[in-house]
Amino acid sequence: MVASEEEAAVFISLEELELHRVRVSKTYDSGALDYRGAEFRQLGTLKVDAVAELVGSDIHFEGHIRARLEANCDRCLAPVELPVEHDFDLLYRPVETIAREEEIKVPKDELEVGFYSGNGIPLADLVTEQVILSVPMKVVCRADCLGFCPVCRANRNLAACNCPEPRTDSPFAQLEEG
């Protein structure tokens, strides 16, 4: 379920930023943000508090996101709750500053710079990006999760299985013996 565009839409415009800093406090219900096929679900509401200001033609955001997500363990598929308490400090530049035909090398101190086009940034885009970046690449229910048996597919966290370890015909098997 995706909420109406009006409910999710808070737009940080250049016109308003030229007049003053913009403070935003917004709550997004579960389903209001499009996480673009990410393999997690938002549990309950997500709260974002942020301040945006114009620095030359760049938009500087500072803020905090608080939410609860749920994903499946990558080893045993059990549900895992992922609390999100994430501070952010972001700089967005107009995309025109890099819109060229040739490839350019981005200086190391600018790797954390994002880009915007048009006359501002939708807050939902910024929040969605930050939530996706806060999720670990590998989600595990616990550090010692045993996962599924590769032979009988039993969840080894719940019951031991008597299957022999699968034999691999790996070209690297000789390295283990030596």
Q: Nearest CA to 28 among 52, 53, 1? A: 1
**Residue range 57-83: average pLDDT?**
97
For residue 113, the one-letter residue type is V
Tens-digit pLDDT profile for residues 110-157:
557 888 999 999 999 999 999 999 999 999 999 999 999 888 889 999
What is the rounded CA–CA span in Å between residue 128 and residue 100?
A: 27
Whether residue 168 is predicted with pLDDT greater than 80 in this model: the reply is no
Mean pLDDT, the chain, integer: 86
The model's pTM: 0.79
pLDDT of res. 3: 42
Tens-digit pLDDT profile for residues 90-101:
999 998 877 565
3-state helix, strand, coil in the chain (%, to 5): 20, 35, 45
Label residue 93 exposed, middle or buried (CB < 10 Å: 0-12, 13-18, 19+): middle
User: pLDDT-derived band of residue 50, with 50, 70 and 90 as boundaries?
Assistant: very high
The token duo for 74 is: 């990558």
